[in-house]
Amino acid sequence: MGLDDYRAGLMPEDKALALKNLAEEGARIAFVGDGINDAPALSGAHVGMAMHHGADVARLAADITLLEDDIARVADAKALALATRGLVDSNFKLTVGLNTGILSAAAFGLLNPVAASALHNGSTIGILLRALAGAGLPRGQAARAA
């Protein structure tokens, strides 16, 4: 997962201090917890992940609640997030490229307004369908994301 460091077995005040120190250093913080004493750290981290059968307050304070009480799901969540980000980025670039091409062609008189509109709307629908299908996600995760 590319972890630089980890901490375990800390008291709640030690967790808060560790998060504060890391944040002051400019670190991006992911915190995984399941108990009442983890809630402040879960809400203070850049990404807080709670376990499925953890305390209610931990699940409410977290950004993500894992659906299985298995630490391996943290790696799955990261992989899914990175794949989703890649899909969003590629769809954005595709949208900008296609719309620039269509509008440029229309501006130079190569497309009439109806054709430009049809191409624009068609490309928008195509990109939306690509996003809905989860194109670009790792195999097995596209079905889970949908």
Structure confidence by residue, pLDDT tens digits, 58-105: 999 999 999 998 988 998 888 888 888 999 999 999 999 999 999 999
Question: Band of the pLDDT at 7, cuts 50, 70, 90?
Answer: confident
- Could you give the dihedral angle defined by the CA atoms of residues 36, 15, 60 and 68, in that order, rounded to the nearest 10 degrees? -90
CB-CB contact of 46 with 62 (8 Å) = no
pTM, entire model = 0.70
Please identify which residue in the block is written with the tokens 């719309």.
Answer: 99
Of 68, 79, 13, 80, which is closest to residue 40 (Cα–Cα)? 13
Amino acid at 71: I
Please identify which residue in the block is written with the tokens 């879960």.
Answer: 42
Amino acid at 137: L
30 three-class SS: strand
Question: Phi, psi at residue 122, to the nearest 5°?
Answer: -65, -40
- Tell me: the pLDDT tens digits for 36-54? 889 889 988 999 999 999 8
Contacts 24+ apart (CB under 8 A), 29-38: 30/74, 32/71, 32/74, 33/58, 33/62, 34/58, 34/69, 37/11, 37/12, 38/12
